[in-house]
Amino acid sequence: MNPSDPRSTDAAIAIHLVDGTGDIDGTDQGSKLDRCQDIVRYRFQDESLLLSALTHASGASHRLASNERLEFLGDAVLGLTVCQWLYEDYPEYNEGDLTKIKSAVVSRRSCGKAACALGLDRCLIVGRGVTRNRSFPKSLVSDVFESVVAALYLDGGSDVVTARIKEWLSEEVRTAVENQGANNYKSSLQQYAQRELSNTPIYRLVRESGPDHRKSFLISAVIADRQFSAAWGSNKKDAEQRAASNALAELHSQPLPFPSESPTKELPGEESLDSE
């Protein structure tokens, strides 16, 4: 990937900083406010909020005039928005999966990539020492992303900020879901079925085996009129995960990972598929 591409990794993110005096490229504070509002596609009723959001401590007249307080709020707004997003869109993911995905999406790396992809780094108001010496902290662009989120929230409300966060971080969520939730077969099957088959899987109990204190369950996934190969599990959640894995294998013409001939114990060291 081109190192100057803002979608690249941390080390390769190209950050463009211009101070607020106009001495570097004729960009003054007013122009930066206009540019940022064009980028986020929102006109602020209170532009002082946006000015604070874009002002780094090095370019502020005093510390409280910088974006640090908004960054504090933006971190919470971003976290809540992403948590609700994941909770609503990925109902089959357990708490552990959701936590891992959320942590990846709201990380400094992800926020920094999003800020540079949008061009928020060019809107930052910083002191001359930062632009001349390039002695800025790596967190600078991720911080401005959070402060702009907070400014949008305060000026426009939750609907305004939620729509933009979902747009700006959609790729980060997709990647995190693929990487962090790889073992959640039920969610993967649901996404595939809804996208490719315009249907939602259900799970059918085929048979139970064993005494009450140590039952095993045979469950199959069903999509529309097609019932897929069933799988055993020591509890219904595990059996459903394995049934979903079998269904995915059949849909992709792959060998079944969980044969359904008889109930089997988990292999030594094998964790429950429903665990974190």
Q: In this structure, how many other beta carbons lie within 10 angstroms of the beta carbon of residue 48?
A: 12
* Catalytic-residue membership of 146: yes
Task: Select which of 75, 121, 240, 274 is catalytic.
Answer: 75
Q: 96 by DSSP, 3-state: which?
A: helix
Task: Select which of 92, 121, 146, 274 is catalytic.
Answer: 146
What is the distance between the terminal CA atoms of the chain, rounded to a whole angstrom? Answer: 33
Among the listed residues 69, 74, 138, the one whose alpha carbon sits nearest the alpha carbon of residue 106: 74
φ, ψ (nearest 5 deg) of residue 182 = -60, -25
Among the listed residues 189, 207, 208, the one whose alpha carbon sits nearest the alpha carbon of residue 199: 189
Which active-site residues does the annotation give? Answer: 75, 146
